[in-house]
Structure formats: C-alpha cells, structure tokens
Structure 1
Amino acid sequence: MSTATSNGFGVLRHRNFRLYLLARLLSTLAVQMQSVAIGWQVYAMTHDVFDLGLIGLAQFAPFLLLILYAGHAADRYDRRRIITLCIGAQLLCGLALLAFCFVDMKVVWPIFLVLVLFGSARAFIMPASQAILINMVPPESFSKAVALGSSTFHVAVILGPVLGGLLYLAGAKTVYAVVTALLIVAVVLMMLARVIPQASNREPATWHSVLEGLRFVWSRPVVLGAISLDLFAVLFGGATALLPAIAHDILMVGPTGLGLLRTAPAVGSALTSIALGFWPISRRVGRWMFGGVALFGAGTIALGLTHSMVIALVALVLMGGGDMVSVYIRHLLVQFETPDAIRGRVSAVNSVFIGASNELGEFESGITAGWFGLVPAILVGGVATLVVTAAWSLGFPVLSRMDRFPHARRDAADTDAPGAGA
C-alpha cells in the first residue's frame, strides 16, 4: 500500500468525495461568515444578551419540528439531492439578509424569520450529510473520511469567522454578498457529485417509520449514552453564543476580535481532527470520549474567569479540541452500529441531540445570562458540563469502559475464530 493511500489524505483519491468535501467547505465557510455578521448586527441593534439566545432558538424550533421526518427523507430519497436543495435554501437566506442591508431596518424580527428558514434547511441537511459519507467511500476508508471531513469542516469554521469579522468592517452587505457567492459555487459542486446507491427504502412516512431511528437509538445503550452525553454537556456549556457580548463588554474588542474568538474553538477542533486522521483512536474509546467532554467543561470555566484575550483564545481552543474528540467517537459509534436502511433516521436522532446542544444551548445561555449576568452564566455552564460528564460515566458504564469500537471488536473476533486464517 502506498503512502498516499495509507495516510489520512489517501481518501481524497475518490472524486465524488472531493467534490462533496469542497462543497461542504464552501457552504460551511459561508454559514460561519454569516453567523458572525448576524450576531454582531443583532447585538449592535439591541445590546440585549437575550436576543443572542433568540438567534439560537429561531434556528432550533423548526429544526426540532422537522428533524425526524428529515431523517426519514434521507433514507427514502437521494441524499445528494437533499443536500443540494438545502444549500439552495441557505442561499435564499443569504440573499434575504443581503436585501435587508439596503433598507434602514430598526427591528430584528425579520432576521429571526430568515433564521427559521435556515433552521428548516439545517434540519434536512444534517441527517443527509451524516448518512451520505459512507455512500461515497469504501468501508475501509470511512474512518479516515470522517476525520478528514471533520478537519475540513473546522478549517471552514476557523476561516469563516475571521473573514466574516474582517469583511464586516466594510459593512454587513459585503459579508452577505460573499456568502451568496460561496453558496452558489457549493450548489454547483453538489450537482456534479455522484454517490454509491444507498439501500433502497420506499417505506411510507408513517409515525412508526419516522420513529424507527429513535427506537433504534433507545435500544443501543452505547449510542444513547454517547449522543445524550453530548446533548447535556454542550447544552449547559453553550458559552460560544455569548461571544458577541464577551467581545464587546468584557474583552473590549470589535467585530474582528469577535471573529478571532469565534474561530478559536475551530482551531482546536481542526488540529485535533488532523491528528485523528493520522492517529485514529482505536483503544480506550470510552475514556477518550469522557475526557474530551471534561476538557470542554474546564475550558468553559476558564473562559468565564478571564479578562485576557489570550487566555480566552486558549480556553476556546481547548474547548474545540475536547469537543472534537467527543464528536469523532460519537459519529463513528453511530455509523458503525447502524444499518444503512435506517442510517438517515438514526442520523436524524443524532442531529436532534447535536442541534439541541448547539442552538438550544445558545438559547439557554442567553436566558441564564439575562437572569444571573454574563460571567455567572458561563461559569454555571462549565460546572454543569463537568457534573454531567461524571454522572454519565456512572450511568453508562458500558460506554465509559469501552476499549474498542464495535466493528474493531467484531474484526478481532473474526480473526480469532477457528479457521479464520484458512
């Protein structure tokens, strides 16, 4: 086997995976730039931390209503086409935000309406994106594709906020115009990509079929423990939603500083995912996962205690690295444990937990900051994350003590079986 194919980048030899990866890079870059612009624009208009929480709620509410059906759609319809249409919907959001810049808008509710559409598109794109990857590369390349996909995603999350902050110096319309251009290219790339045919599933969308993914997750303690750990840990540790207020009120930096703060977690995530591409986690899986979540909680506490930009950036980098370890392990557990015929629905359940931990976590942070103040809200979230980590390690011992991934255990059993080497 050549070095090119054996290292973390050998998976790039698959053309359709390259097209998908580039489309995801551009669309994520656009969304991250847009997110910085929206956060700064809304806080500049209202100076209310509760409105920062509403940004998350506006995206999460439609997401929660649609996600289970979206998972069924990812199993029944072409996943590539779903992703293409969803990026197209994100493009419409960018155009709407750009149009708002040409009027003297005094209220923020039109922005929240656009975010409702964005949340709806996100509900469909998440399970389709999680489920399509295994249809683009051979099984032996899947774990490397996950790591490379994660690192590419986090490269976009690193660059997006910085570029968004810099472009915002020229005005919000500049940010939204660039966002629109990037999403147009992403749509074209997805239209050019092709995938391995997914398992056929023409089951009608009944409550029984839609809830199949939820029943599957509930029947697998390892999967349930992994995704619920992420839900509650990040739900309480959603301090990144408060970064516009932290940048403005505590660190006293402008939109460019906010961009640096927003990009710091992605730096940690990207560095970690690159390392995972070359040195995948294969032993002590449970310890790595719980350690990653604990690091995320500790970083959140450090962020709440500091008034230094440098320390804040370091804390955010550590939070991103810890979160990446948890995300990597959870994604592999879900995909390896799930039959392809219901992979979209199980990915939808996973997406509910991810969406809840992100957008709902942002809403929770906005509410607690409004009740207790900015710094106490961050500290309470970090402590709660550590408490959840300890509780889940006791409540899901099969996960916390897991040594190998399920497919690795099966492969080892096959190798040790009589006649396996014949």
Structure 2
Amino acid sequence: MSLNVEHQYQTIDRIDNTPELAPSISSKRERLEKRLQETEVNYRNIFENALLGMFQATSSGEYLLANQMLSSIYGYDSPTELIANITNIKEQLYVKPNRYTELMELLEKRNIVWQFESQVYRKDGNIIWISENVRIIYDSSGDIVGYEGYVQDISERKHSEEMMQAELAKEKEINNIKARFFSMACHELRTFLTIIIATSDLLKLHGNKLNTKDRLHYFDKITENIKSMNELLEGFIAIGKAELKKTTVNFSAFELKSFCESIWEDVKTITKTTHKLAFQNNCNNLTLVSNKTLLRQILMNLLLNAVKYSPENNTLFFELDCQKNLINFRIKDRGIGIPKEDREHLFEAFHRASNVLNFSGTGLGMAIVKRAVELHGGSIAVESEVGSGTTITVTIPTICTNLHTSNWESKIFCVCDDRDRSLQNSSL
C-alpha cells in the first residue's frame, strides 16, 4: 500500500551524452516523469477514497498517514485531526493495550497479520470492534521502520455474533430447565401416585370393613391427590416460567394449620411410617393466601426426608411460628444428619449425601424445596450434626395487612417477590 511508487519503474542507468541523442533522451525522461505523476495521483485517489481505513504508522505507534475512512471509523473529522490527536496508538486507541502488543509480536514473527480483531475507542469514547490487516515496512537496510495496513469496522458483525450467542445460550438454558423440571415432575408425581395406590389398596383389602363415612374419606383422598397431581404440573410450569422471567403464580386462600396437618397425613400414607409428629402451632386460626402447590412441595419434601432418614418410632418436630412480616416453618428430626462436606451441595439437583447411598431417592427433593422457597422470596437455614439429626427452617415473608376487599379482611398474604405483588392484587 506504500505511496512511494518510484520503485515500480526502471531508472535510466546510463545516459549517453552524445549531442545527437539528447533530444530523444529528454523526451523519454519527460514521458516517464508524466507517467510517474499520473500513477502517484491515481494511488493518492485510491488511498483517500478507499472504503477501508488505510494508514501508515511508525514502529513507536504514531500515525504517519491516514485516509478519510480511517478518521471516520475512529470518529474524527479528518486525517489531520486523527494524526494530531492519536500520538500513542497503543495507549490511546486500544481498549486492551496488550492487544496492540500482541499485534506487534505477531508482525515480528510473520511480517504480515490478517484479520486481527480488537476493541478500540472512538473520539467520543464509544467502543467499537475493528479488524486489521497489517504488514511491516522495512527501510533499504532491512530495518523495521513501521507498519501499514487497513482497518474495517466490524462492530455490526460482532453485535450479530453476540446476539446469536445469547440466543444459543438462552435456548440451551431453556432446554436445561425443561430437562430439570421434567425430572423433578416425575419425582413429585411418583409421590402422588404412591398415595393413590396405597389408598386404593387399602379400600380393596378393607373396604367391606369400613363404614360409609370412612370409605368416602378415602375416595375423597384419591380424588384430592388426582387434583394435586394436576396442580403439581401447573406448579412446575409456574416454576419453569419463573425461571424464564415469566411469573404466572396463582394464589388461593387456605387455613394454615389444617393444611400442614393434611400434608402429614399424606406423608404417613406414603411411607406407612411409625413416626409420631409433635406439631406446635403458634399461628392459630391463620388463613394464608399463597401459592398452595409450591408451599405443599416445600413441606412435603422436608417431612418425607425427616421420616426417611430417622429411625422408626422416633418423634419428629414441626413448628409453625408467625411473626409480624414472616412465617417460620421449622422441621426437626433425630436422624442420621448431614455430613459437613455435603451441606454446601444439599440443594443441588441429583446430589445425594455420602451417608444416604443405602436409601432410595433421586436427589431432587431438596432442589425443589430450594427453588420453591426462592419463588416465595424466602430463605432456608439448615442445622445438622451427623448422628444427631437435622433442623431445617424455612422463612417466608408475608404482608400482614387488612385489604379493602371485604372477602379478604384480616388475611395474611404470602407473596413470592416484588414482581408478583401486582399479580397477586389483580388475582383478587
């Protein structure tokens, strides 16, 4: 790209001073000089009007030449302004100065570098992406005096690539979410099916010994669990949408004490446990307005774990503690406990503690608990000692206020997070 075009033409090595040849030699010289001037003008026009940013720079990082396109790419009005303001290309131009260093090192090794991409500053401080094709300039002695090349603004292409990568990452995240929640849904549905099967078997074996009221009670339990299976599927859809920033959480009103007691009844039906439950309720006559399905998943999984990992005939402790703006659900057992090294992984999907490998399970229950608690805007605390048992406390924030709507007076609202407050109010 060098503007020094004289080397493209042969010089006159020998001039005969014979008078007869003088006019001919003078004519040839004039034609050669004219052609040289025309060629230099053509090169200058190409340089100045090129659609690429073209330049020459010293080895110390100062511009010698620049065309209008280069100055436009960097946000300057003219090549003169660019050259006057950029006196240290490495420090003033490159967002990461080490990229300039890498470019120089590559040039020394290869003499020419193609499509070298970097981020640079424009005059206004904005950052753009450029691609450079550069080669070294040598003097007549073979020493490096600088480098020259051309620049393209590739910001639009890089933006498209980033958008594409973001879309691919989002698609991957969606697929992971689908796979994860499919596994979790299977785990939870198995719980409901176990209740239904156990209740059905009980009716088959002892139905003729039960009175009408008891039989209806068990039939109602089957119906209720079928409904719960449907609610569960909706719950997982809600969690999945929440993962994708689409909050569609439904609220309903229910009496908290009887809700907790019904979950314990289901746990007993599933496990046929001989455990006893010491239930302490400090939230008397409390109606909670919340997402019933998500809260059920929390308590069901915690109670199932307490039964599974505690010796038979033990007593489990379940405490409800209501304070001004929160509810604590505390479940304590005297079971095998959780090893210290496993506690930090307790809520990871499919992770199982080293001391439960002889127990059946998928490692999904606590992951479900954690996500459901997070959707309530709550927190979960774990205290455990191997051989002595585990205490898990779930804290969920509430809104303790009387609403203007008469049907909901004196109710406590259990909200998921700030995004759900408007949804909650609109659903009433």
Compute the TM-score of the two structures, normalised by the length of structure 1: 0.21
Rg larger in structure: 2
Larger relative contact order, structure 1 or 2 (CA cutoff 8 Å, min sep 6): 1
Which has the larger strand fraction?
2
Which has the larger helix fraction?
1
